[in-house]
Amino acid sequence: MTLPPPPDPEPEVTLPVAVQRPEASSASVRARMQKQMRRDTDPEVQVRRRLHAAGIRYRVDNKLEADLRTRGDIVWRGLRIAVFIDGCYWHGCPLHATRPKANADWWARKLDGNVTRDRRADATLAARGWKVLRYWEHESPDAVADAVIVEIQRRRAATA
């Protein structure tokens, strides 16, 4: 798949970098960013389609625990399996993540913060008995779906 170009923030920032989210510099840039965000979710749809074809039902974008803000992309509550399909750009894929030069400080904090939050969520969920399965959006949907199915079968066997 093609990689997302980094969003195109307006270089003029008047508030402290930690506070202000850069605005898209034009309507066309904004439209491109929104289109990009929709396209970024597509690998998740492809994985879901394969699971569905295998007869597996799931919850989508589901809150995992009442007191946690974390939402899993594909979730089995009874088995306590949460799948996350992480976007290469937003979650810092080691192969594809790039950092914009404009507003570099703001983006560094934002993107580093995403990774930190991911790792914290992983630890919290694992401590509560969740099996957290994370994949990159660049991974083959077939391979991801196969790996998820193996884990579902493993947990079902363990709880049977």
Residues forming the site for Zn ion (CB under 5 A): 88, 93, 95-96, 136, 138
29-36 long-range contacts, CB within 8 A, separation 24+ = 32/8, 33/7, 33/8, 36/4, 36/5, 36/7
Residues in the chain: 160
If the CB atoms of residues 95 and 157 are measured against Zn ion, the closer one turns out to be 95
Nearer to Zn ion, 88 or 152 (CB): 88
Phi, psi (deg, nearest 5) at residue 79: -85, -10
CB of 160 to Zn ion, least distance (A): 36
Q: From 69, 78, 58, select the one nearest 121 (Cα to Cα).
A: 69
Closest to Zn ion by CB, 56 or 93: 93
Smallest separation, CB 64 to Zn ion (Å): 24
Strand ranges (E), 3-138:
59-63, 71-76, 81-86, 131-136
* Cβ proximity to Zn ion, 53 vs 95, nearer residue: 95
Taking the complex as a whole, how short is the minimal distance between the CB of residue 72 and Zn ion, in angstroms? 20
CB of 30 to Zn ion, least distance (A): 24
